[in-house]
Amino acid sequence: MADIKTRDAVKGTIKTLDKAAIAGRRMKSAYAKTKDKAEQGYYAEENSPTEYAADKVSHASGRIKDEGIHQFNKQGQKNAQITRENIGKAKDKIADFKAKRAKKAAEQKTMRNKAGQNAMRTIRQDGLQEIQGTASRPAVSAAPVKTETPQTAANSLIKTRQQGKRTIKTTARNAEKTVKTTAKGTVKATEKGVKTAKATSKTAIKTTEQTAKAAQKTAKASAKAAQKAAQTAKVTAKATAEATKATVKATIAAVRAIIAGTKALISALIAGGWMAIVIILIVVLLGCAVSLFGGGSDSTSYTPVSAEVEAYTPLIQKYAKQYGIPEYVELIEAVMMQESGGKGSDPMQAAEGSFNKKYPHEPNGIKDPEYSIECGVQELKAALVSAEVENPIDMERIKLALQGYNFGNGYISWAKTNYGGYSYANAVEFSAMQAQRLGWEKYGDTQYPAHVLRYYPYGRAFTSGGNQAIVEVALTQLGNEGGQPYWSWYGFGGRVEWCACFASWCADQCGYLESGIIPKFSLCSDGVNWFKGKGQWQDKNYEPQAGDLIFFDWGSDGSIDHVGIVEKCENGTVYTVEGNSGDACKQQSYPVGSGSIYGYGCPNY
């Protein structure tokens, strides 16, 4: 019986040991899990405080980098640098925290390992003591073997584990709070730094823009001042240059006139005749005086003939002497200058004249320059004889002869019969009559005498200014109604307000459009702007000259309504010839300074 009880007691002790071993294994497994969680579970979560703080810091750093580089000026970049340094310090703090946390976790792990080892040691010792005690005590004392010491140790270990777990959780929460607080503080500080940097940048940019604008205004003002000074200098230089040119030109003209007069005197001496010599001496003296002191515009001043024409002087002298007009060598040269400038095989353009017996009667038909000169001298002599020219300064008859050289001698007899001689107006009339008879658009050059006399040394002294020509043309049109042909000549397909067209047409008949003396215009305002732009404008109080253009403002409202041609100004009264005055060409008159007068365009005839 005693053996049976002893065996039963041993079996009970073994069961107790088995239970203790099972509890130990469970504790070991729990310990392992706790360890794994301690090492992995609580620090590897994707949305841990560390990751949160890192994301915030990275986001803030990215913002600073993107905005700092492209938007801030030097002050903004400095603030961004300070912000980056603060972020670096925050990162250092987080790194320190992580290191401390890892160290604490390692210490807790060491503590848990020691606790587990102590517990296992206690379990083994208690188990051995039970075995030893049971073997030496009676069976009735076996009941205390059922002690809960292993269970208590296990419970203690579990409590330790739970406390460690709670400690880990508490530590994690505290760490999370610390990280969040630090991260939020860093982010706020960063955002504040960014805002400050932006404000500073805006202020700096605004200041820079204001400075740039001020500098730009200063530069513009300087540029305008420099430009104005340059323009003033340019105008002064131009005026000086023009004055110098005029002086030089007048001197050259005077010298050439003296040379030409001397040549004429020599020609007269060769030809004989003291009366001719006296006349030429007077002409030379008058011509030189006009050239040196007469002033006037370029269009009516003496212009020397070209070198090509000068080269033909020996031939001109030869045939002038041969045909009895040696004193007109200079006039022959002037004709050649107007016809060809001394160029081509027909320099006198004599192919269509009656003295051409060898070549076709067509423009440039003569192919021998000397033959052209011979024919041309004969044509001019016939015109001088028909016009009854008495000497080289008989200008009115010379004009008649020259116009006859251009139109044909038929004009000379017609003008003498109908008007007693030459006038620009009857030259225009004859030209229009012949053009209509022949079906041509234009017949001859109505300004031929004026064109030739530019090159004649004595022409300037004995001819009136070119301003009278446009008046003579305008007077021939008195009585015209409806404005035809003026508006159709201008290019309009039907009737328009034609006062400006009339003034332009009269100027064209005189060659003034081609020479640029008067503009072609159909709007009165365009004519005013042209004369003002040329510096050839006078206000209504000016006493005009014949040939000036008069502009009207009927309502005194600054609008230019009408234009006419000044015929003359006498005793405070302006006399005009106007187209489209009651839809007709009429003569009118106004007191000087009349409220209806807007002003005057003064062509440089």
Burial class of residue 530, CB neighbours in 10 A (0-12, 13-18, 19+): middle
Integer Cα distance of 289 and 263 in angstroms: 17
Q: Which residues, 6 or more positions from 484, have their beta carbon under 8 angstroms from its beta carbon?
A: 495
Per-domain boundaries in the chain: 2-223, 296-463, 486-601
Contact status, residue 489 vs residue 501, Cβ threshold 8 Å: yes
Domains 296-463 and 486-601 alike in fold: no
Contact status, residue 523 vs residue 500, Cβ threshold 8 Å: yes
The rounded percent of the chain whose pLDDT value lies above 70 is 53
Contact status, residue 405 vs residue 450, Cβ threshold 8 Å: no
- Reply yes or no on whether the pLDDT at 7 is more than 80: no
- Per-residue model confidence as pLDDT tens digits over 490-505: 999 999 999 999 999 9
- Per-residue model confidence as pLDDT tens digits over 174-228: 655 655 665 566 556 556 655 665 565 565 556 556 655 665 665 555 555 555 5
Integer Cα distance of 231 and 306 in angstroms: 36
- Reply yes or no on whether the pLDDT at 154 is more than 60: no
Contact status, residue 103 vs residue 112, Cβ threshold 8 Å: no
Q: Is 326 helix (H, G, I), strand (E, B) or coil?
A: helix
Which pLDDT band, with edges at 50, 70 and 90, does 129 fall under?
Answer: low
Pick the CATH number of 486-601 from 3.40.50, 3.90.1720, 3.30.43, 3.30.70: 3.90.1720
Average pLDDT value for residue range 470-474: 86
Burial class of residue 457, CB neighbours in 10 A (0-12, 13-18, 19+): buried
CATH code of 296-463, in short, is: 1.10.530.10
Q: What pTM value is reported for the model? A: 0.43
Sign of the dihedral defined by the CA atoms of residues 164, 170, 176, 178, in that order: negative
Which pLDDT band, with edges at 50, 70 and 90, does 383 fall under?
Answer: very high
Least confident of 19-28, 142-151, 390-399, 578-587: 142-151
- Reply yes or no on whether the pLDDT at 296 is more than 50: no
Average pLDDT value for residue range 374-390: 96
Q: What is the DSSP letter of 481?
A: B
> How high is the pLDDT of residue 517?
93
For residue 485, is the peptide bond before it cis, meaning its omega torsion is within 30 degrees of 0? yes
- On average, the pLDDT of the chain sits at 74
- Reply yes or no on whether the pLDDT at 264 is more than 60: no
